């Protein structure tokens, strides 16, 4: 491994009283180095759950987005998921048999059952967002999202796809430890029990509880890692596939994107932006660069400007292309990369802003941590962007090819 | 490598045993040397579980990466494993507007036919289903999936399963044809009350002019004008 690079000259500690000689000393150092790395990794994995605030931000984000989605589509619910849908329950069931998907919605064609499922989905999303019995709710939420996604799989787009993946991953995380009803209940309970005598548990019980805590922590940390890696894969793939396209290289890609009629809620605005040829080619290049660079900037301060630019890009997509859900899902996913100290600093920021505007009394925020992250103001850069996939992707060579190509 | 992990485990066991346990459990302090066998088994189980978690995590990320990345030697070699893991729940496709954004807009036109009692056919005029979607999207802050995704994805899935001709040769193609005809039937039913026996679709693909091209007011020439066969309409689900 790396150590072989610094050979003979051996500035390695002169292995004090180690009679076995130089070679063993060197091997010993390498061995120790490896052990240190492994125990550091082990500690990182098992010591404490990382990014609890980010996990909670994702819970709140996806819970509320799905709630908004279900409310938005309420008038269209029968057309999308009901027994009257053009994608009939029989067709859906046939596809499930081919692909392995499943859905609680196809269990019965009864109207009452469907409405019950819909209400259950609304309630589940709301309770998940609020963090009430979060672990159970996260499982139910994943079940709801999977069921609704599978039932109307040809109605989904990239935003739905991302929401589904995140709903599945969030089951692994302890996403109810902050900003949740669970956290509030625990706080009250702790305050009440503050001076009660400490419960002495039997050794074996204590061991079991410790093991459970460790396992929860490990699963949470793995879940957060998977979420972060998923977002990197997403941006990396989106960027690298664009690099291969001539129109992205030529700076004209966004012209075509802006002229897709289904994604023109404000045609005058789209045409106005389309006329700025220099601007849209710069924004097109920036898009590709940001997406390709994304996985590589996450380990330094550079991630803050990149995240702000991505935020601007997503807001641009939301407004210009009429894809608020898609953009919302992407923005929430980006939030996983903000450290806890950023989130603890947020209430402090809000309070200051509220005081400055002299509006209302600040909410009794949580301790404003020692955060020192530069204030991430809302970006005023409505970069137009794209990212929908338009009709006609010819890429689903794979087994089912159902993944929401586009948008 | 494996020896490294084992020794790390041993080290960790010692560390944690001298940690919180000693503080909170008088029992443990009383008998620090002899560990109950159960505790040891618990530790071993815990380490196994942790290592399994880590391995699953890394495997998942690797498999998803290979699923998303272009087909390569590795992904071809392991495609059964990749597909078994990724499908259905982790399927994904991030080729949004890539490598090229679409450079066409589509009109999906439909007309309906009804057999009169005397045996003659009454055929309606064409009307544009996509135009309805476009006007639903226009000036909407939050367009519905039924406008932006329903017909668009139904049509792309239809062409993916049929290719250039309209004979359904696979089970999936039959399903997509049924889906498309159901959509058309619903839209036709929503606009006229009469009975409909047959439906026909025509899909006109219009190019988006290259930037800078003088477009004027003349409509673009279609790059494709595809007339689908008449489909018998059966009421579904109602």
- ipTM score of the complex? 0.83
A74 touches chain B (CB under 8 A): no
Q: Determine the pLDDT at residue B143.
A: 96
| Structure-model confidence comparison of residues A302 and B24, the more confident one | A302
Per residue in B55-70, pLDDT (tens digit) is 999 999 999 999 999 9
Q: How far apart are CA B105 and CA B155, in angstroms?
A: 12
Q: How far apart are CA A134 and CA A175, in angstroms?
A: 7
| Cβ contact, residue pair B150, A83, below 8 Å | no
CA B111 to chain A, closest CA, distance in angstroms equals: 17
- Mark which residues 162-191 of B lie under 8 Å from A by CB: 171-172, 175, 178-179, 182-183, 185-186
Last residue within a domain, chosen from A186, A215, A232: A186
B136 touches chain A (CB under 8 A): no
Preceding omega of B88 cis (within 30 degrees of 0) = yes
A386 and A252 in a single domain? The answer is: yes
**Is the separation of the CB atoms in A391 and B152 below 8 Å?**
yes
According to DSSP, the β-strands at B198-207 and B121-123 are unpaired
Q: Determine the pLDDT at residue A26.
A: 84
| Cβ contact, residue pair A155, B64, below 8 Å | no
CA A180 to chain B, closest CA, distance in angstroms equals: 26
- Decide: helix, strand or coil at residue A256: helix
A262 and A374 in a single domain? The answer is: yes
According to DSSP, the β-strands at B127-128 and B104-115 are antiparallel
Nearest-10 Cα torsion for A221, A225, A226, A231: 140
Nearest chain B residue to A405 by CA: give it: B93
pTM attached to this predicted model? 0.83
Q: Determine the pLDDT at residue B89.
A: 95
Which of A388, A403, A404 to probe by mutation at the B interface, max B CB count within 10 Å? A403
| Cβ contact, residue pair B91, A400, below 8 Å | yes
**Helices vs. strands in chain A: H and E counts, helices first:** 16, 0
Residue A282 forms part of a structural domain: yes
pLDDT averaged over every residue in chain A: 85
* CB atoms near residue A119 (< 10 Å): 11
**Is the separation of the CB atoms in A350 and A368 below 8 Å?**
no
| Mean pLDDT, residues A68-94 taken together | 96
| Mean pLDDT, residues B182-189 taken together | 92
A67 touches chain B (CB under 8 A): no
pLDDT averaged over every residue in chain B: 83
Residue A109 forms part of a structural domain: yes
Q: Grade residue A404 by pLDDT with cuts at 50, 70 and 90.
A: low
Residue A303 forms part of a structural domain: yes
| Cβ contact, residue pair A73, B146, below 8 Å | yes
Provide, as residue numbers in chain B, all residues whose Cβ is less than 8 Å from the Cβ of A254. 101
Provide, as residue numbers in chain B, all residues whose Cβ is less than 8 Å from the Cβ of A89. 237
Q: Grade residue A198 by pLDDT with cuts at 50, 70 and 90.
A: low
User: Which range has highest mean pLDDT (A67-71, B39-43, B103-107)?
Assistant: A67-71
| Structure-model confidence comparison of residues A396 and B187, the more confident one | B187
A140 and A270 in a single domain? The answer is: no
Contacts of A75-80 with CB under 8 Å at 24 or more apart are: A76/B144, A76/B145, A76/B146, A77/A118, A78/A114, A79/B146, A79/B150, A79/B186, A80/A152, A80/A155, A80/B145, A80/B146, A80/B150
For residue A379, pLDDT over 50 is answered with no
User: Nearest to residue A52, comparing CAs of A215, A207, A170, A199?
Assistant: A170
Provide, as residue numbers in chain B, all residues whose Cβ is less than 8 Å from the Cβ of A211. 42-43, 45-46
For residue A363, pLDDT over 80 is answered with no
| Cβ contact, residue pair A252, B46, below 8 Å | no
How far CA B95 is from CA of A192, A320, B104, in Å, comes to 53, 20, 17
B212 touches chain A (CB under 8 A): yes
Residue A111 forms part of a structural domain: yes
Residue A360 forms part of a structural domain: yes
Residue A138 forms part of a structural domain: yes
- Of A23-32, A99-108, B30-39, which range is least confident? B30-39
A169 and A252 in a single domain? The answer is: no
By residue range, what is the domain housing residue A267?
Answer: 247-390
The share of chain A scoring above pLDDT 70, in percent, equals: 81
Residue A333 forms part of a structural domain: yes
A149 and A277 in a single domain? The answer is: no
Q: Grade residue B211 by pLDDT with cuts at 50, 70 and 90.
A: confident
A40 touches chain B (CB under 8 A): no
| Mean pLDDT, residues B194-220 taken together | 83
* CB atoms near residue A35 (< 10 Å): 15
For residue A204, pLDDT over 90 is answered with no
A178 and A281 in a single domain? The answer is: no
A57 and A134 in a single domain? The answer is: yes
Residue A240 forms part of a structural domain: no
**Is the separation of the CB atoms in A128 and A59 below 8 Å?**
yes
A117 touches chain B (CB under 8 A): no
For residue B9, pLDDT over 90 is answered with no
Q: Determine the pLDDT at residue A401.
A: 59
Provide, as residue numbers in chain A, all residues whose Cβ is less than 8 Å from the Cβ of B60. 226
Q: Determine the pLDDT at residue B193.
A: 66
Q: Determine the pLDDT at residue A202.
A: 78
Phi, psi of A229 (to 5 degrees): -65, -35
A105 and A182 in a single domain? The answer is: yes
Burial class (CB in 10 A: 0-12, 13-18, 19+), A42: buried
Phi, psi of A334 (to 5 degrees): -60, -30
The DSSP output letter for B209 is P
A176 and A273 in a single domain? The answer is: no
A255 and A386 in a single domain? The answer is: yes
Q: How many domains does chain A have?
A: 2
- Mark which residues 69-98 of B lie under 8 Å from A by CB: 69, 83, 87-98
Q: Determine the pLDDT at residue A275.
A: 93
Q: Grade residue B29 by pLDDT with cuts at 50, 70 and 90.
A: very low
**Is the separation of the CB atoms in A96 and A150 below 8 Å?**
yes
| Cβ contact, residue pair B68, A233, below 8 Å | yes
């Amino acid at each position: 491994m790396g150590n072989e690079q610094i050979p003979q000259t051996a500035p390695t500690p002169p292995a004090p009283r180690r009679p076995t000689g130089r070679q063993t000393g060197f091997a010993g150092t390498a061995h120790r180095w490896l052990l240190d790395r492994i125990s550091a990794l082990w500690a990182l994995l098992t010591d404490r759950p990382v990014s609890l605030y980010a996990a909670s931000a994702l819970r709140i984000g996806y819970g509320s987005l799905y709630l908004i989605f279900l409310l938005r589509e309420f008038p269209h619910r029968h057309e999308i998921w009901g027994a009257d849908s053009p994608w009939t329950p029989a067709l859906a069931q046939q596809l499930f048999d081919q692909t392995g998907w499943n859905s609680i919605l196809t269990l019965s064609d009864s109207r009452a059952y469907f409405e019950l499922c819909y209400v259950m989905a609304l309630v589940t999303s709301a309770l998940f967002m609020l963090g009430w019995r979060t672990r159970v709710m996260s499982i139910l939420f994943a079940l709801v999202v999977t069921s609704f996604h599978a039932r109307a799989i040809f109605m989904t787009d990239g935003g739905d796809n991302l929401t589904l993946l995140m709903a599945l991953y969030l089951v692994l995380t302890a996403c109810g430890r902050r900003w949740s009803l669970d956290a509030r209940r625990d706080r009250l309970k702790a305050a009440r029990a503050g001076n009660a005598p400490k419960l002495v548990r039997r050794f074996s019980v204590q061991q079991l509880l410790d093991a459970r805590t460790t396992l929860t922590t490990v699963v949470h940390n793995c879940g957060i890692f998977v979420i972060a890696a998923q977002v990197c894969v997403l941006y990396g793939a989106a960027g690298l596939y664009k690099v291969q396209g001539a129109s992205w290289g030529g700076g004209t890609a966004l012209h075509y994107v802006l002229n897709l009629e289904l994604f023109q809620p404000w045609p005058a605005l789209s045409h106005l932006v389309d006329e700025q040829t220099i601007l849209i080619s710069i924004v097109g290049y920036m898009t590709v660069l940001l997406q390709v660079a994304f996985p590589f900037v996450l380990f330094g301060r550079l991630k803050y400007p990149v995240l702000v630019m991505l935020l601007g890009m997503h807001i641009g997509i939301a407004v210009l292309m009429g894809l608020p859900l898609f953009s919302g899902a992407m923005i929430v996913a980006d939030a996983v990369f903000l450290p806890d100290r950023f989130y603890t600093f947020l209430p402090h920021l809000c309070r200051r802003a509220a005081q400055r505007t002299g509006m209302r009394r600040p909410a009794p925020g949580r301790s404003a941590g020692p955060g020192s992250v530069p204030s991430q103001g809302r970006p005023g850069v409505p970069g137009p962007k794209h990212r929908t996939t338009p009709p006609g992707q010819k890429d689903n060579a794979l087994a089912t090819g159902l993944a929401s190509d586009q948008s | 490598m494996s020896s490294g992990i084992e020794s790390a485990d041993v080290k960790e066991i010692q560390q944690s045993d001298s940690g919180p346990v000693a503080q909170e459990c008088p029992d443990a302090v009383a008998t620090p040397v002899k560990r109950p066998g159960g505790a040891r088994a618990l530790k071993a189980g815990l380490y196994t579980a942790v290592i399994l978690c880590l391995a699953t995590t890394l495997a998942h990320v690797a498999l998803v990466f290979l699923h998303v990345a272009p087909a390569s030697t590795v992904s071809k070699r392991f495609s059964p494993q990749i597909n078994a893991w990724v499908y259905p729940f982790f399927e994904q496709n991030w080729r949004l507007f890539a490598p090229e954004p679409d450079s066409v807009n589509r009109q999906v036109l439909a007309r309906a036919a009804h057999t009169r009692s005397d045996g003659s056919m009454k055929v309606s005029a064409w009307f544009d289903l996509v135009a309805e979607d476009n006007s639903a999207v226009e000036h909407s802050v939050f367009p519905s999936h039924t406008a932006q995704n329903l017909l668009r994805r139904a049509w792309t899935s239809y062409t993916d399963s049929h290719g250039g001709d309209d004979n359904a040769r696979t089970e999936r193609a039959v399903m997509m044809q049924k889906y498309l005809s159901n959509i058309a039937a619903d839209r036709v039913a929503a606009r006229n009350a009469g009975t409909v026996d047959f439906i026909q679709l025509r899909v006109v693909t219009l190019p988006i002019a290259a930037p800078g091209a003088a477009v004027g007011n003349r409509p673009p020439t279609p790059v494709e004008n595809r007339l689908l066969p008449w489909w018998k309409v059966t009421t579904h689900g109602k």
